[in-house]
Structure 1
């Protein structure tokens, strides 16, 4: 059975000492193949790490590698190693895997998670977004933006349905409003790649997208473990294809596009996900078949809550081999 809300999306149960499993198989986002959204795997890893630390320890970094894709027809299994436990810090190593039909246990993700007991702040500051965005109360929902693009003749109904299908899971869990100043709102996350944007004259590394997001009601989140695991789930979203979406390209222009590694850093000990948060995405560098991009998140008061950086694979699309023409006898 598929998870019904965010609480179930990151729910785990302990199966033995240091071992856990997800209550549900992971779900897919932005992929038509039975390959899970990486945020599902990351969220389960975060929940498993949290389950092994004492109350009062708050996650401040989660660093790791996506080893291989997770499948959507089986649960995720985790193994947690305790690396450090002091009066101030705790460190955990997490391995996430799945059992294949052959019985082999295949690794999907490895992560190091660090926790700290809250301490008084000598300094409080954070960088603002790179661009000023409209407030959420004046921004239409993703569905309203999509419908308007169809009615204005900017995109076809078929393209709108493709977007709704690809990103339906996120839309069912979070209310999302793409700020009109950002590229995502102007080209529907890159799907409408032929549409011009207001940032086309800027260098690629200066182009940004901004989304206001908040958890939909009745998501069942009660503990810090659940909320921070959901943050890990959320922050993985869209980073791998930002370079293409910001440059009039999409998945069909690449041979492969997916996350390789991640660095998720939290700057506040807990998050109120029911309140609006602004996510800004940009790409920083690309070469050698890889890209490096960043997603940052602020609360409504303008305090940076967390950031996620990733290197991602972005392979050149292979050329089609010409079909062999049968010689006439």
Structure 2
């Protein structure tokens, strides 16, 4: 999936999706999706907010020749069974004075976007040590590293099981049955991998949103590396920054499925790269 953002999208205004079929073969189906919505200042006018290119790939037919995964940069990492959910941890930090209650209240609407997940930050990562951006001045165990070598980690698992039928066919009445677990998980992972990714590079450098005039994602590339996805299992996210300069920064996110009992090699199931605008006042 490749996408470009052309402007801010308002969640309170309906979206219009124009889908164009570009390719249909035995192995691939490619669709272009143009997303637009009505403007709030001029009646009857719409504007394009993003354009996305999506490739649907036929399921593998047991002809795989290679199978391996890159592993997280830091190992070992604290297991999710020994960690608290982010909301609980931040509330405790606010109560004991580790973080400012006003900052937490300001950030909570953004954190609430992840309420569907168990989300637990690993203390080895930069974002955990800086309270997810609320203590950018705090020293971390990675301060001696170049920005391109720093990393942040968090575990996720969907709070509710996916009660979905493993079918996308229609029933006798023509009603479309619920999407598959894999399709639903792909949508959920796409949203999660984008969360907090545009802020990685500036937060590594202790640059807060109040210091930048422009702070936004320009484009992204999301790739799934396995056919079967299940957001109900525990997964580990790694966030890293690749480069920055000329009013842009480039970041990368990896997502791994937990190995057996949290041990052994992990399987990378998805990765995302983004180019973000970062401009000073």
Q: TM-score, normalised by structure 2?
A: 0.86
Cα distance change on mapping 1:247 and 1:149 into 2, 3 Å = farther
Partner of 1:100: 39
For structure 1, list consecutive stretches of 5 or more residues without a partner in the other structure. 1-61, 319-329
Whether 1:212 and 2:155 are equivalent positions in the alignment is yes
Whether 1:165 and 2:101 are equivalent positions in the alignment is no
- Structure 1 Cα separation of the partners of residues 57 and 16 of structure 2: 25
For residue 261 of structure 1, the aligned residue among 201, 206, 219 is 219
Q: Contact conserved, 1:296 with 1:306, CA < 8 A, in 2? A: yes
Aligned with 1:279: secondary structure? strand
For residue 121 of structure 2, the aligned residue among 154, 159, 178 is 178
Partner of 2:94: 150
Aligned with 2:270: secondary structure? strand
* 4+ long deviations beyond 6 Å: none
Q: Contact conserved, 1:154 with 1:195, CA < 8 A, in 2? A: no
Partner of 2:143: 200
For structure 2, list consecutive stretches of 5 or more residues without a partner in the other structure. 165-178, 260-265
What CA deviation, in whole Å up to 9, does each residue of 1:157-193 have, x standing for no partner? 22222232331121x1111000000011111222211
Q: Contact conserved, 1:92 with 1:112, CA < 8 A, in 2? A: yes
For residue 292 of structure 1, the aligned residue among 233, 247, 250 is 250
CA shift, 1:245, in A, is: 1.6
- Structure 2 Cα separation of the partners of residues 200 and 219 of structure 1: 40
Cα distance change on mapping 1:150 and 1:109 into 2, 3 Å = same
For residue 53 of structure 2, the aligned residue among 106, 112, 116 is 112
Measured on the aligned residues, the alpha-carbon RMSD in Å equals: 1.6
Cα distance change on mapping 1:218 and 1:298 into 2, 3 Å = closer
Q: Contact conserved, 1:190 with 1:249, CA < 8 A, in 2? A: no
What CA deviation, in whole Å up to 9, does each residue of 1:42-74 have, x standing for no partner? xxxxxxxxxxxxxxxxxxxx0120111111221
Cα distance change on mapping 1:277 and 1:293 into 2, 3 Å = same
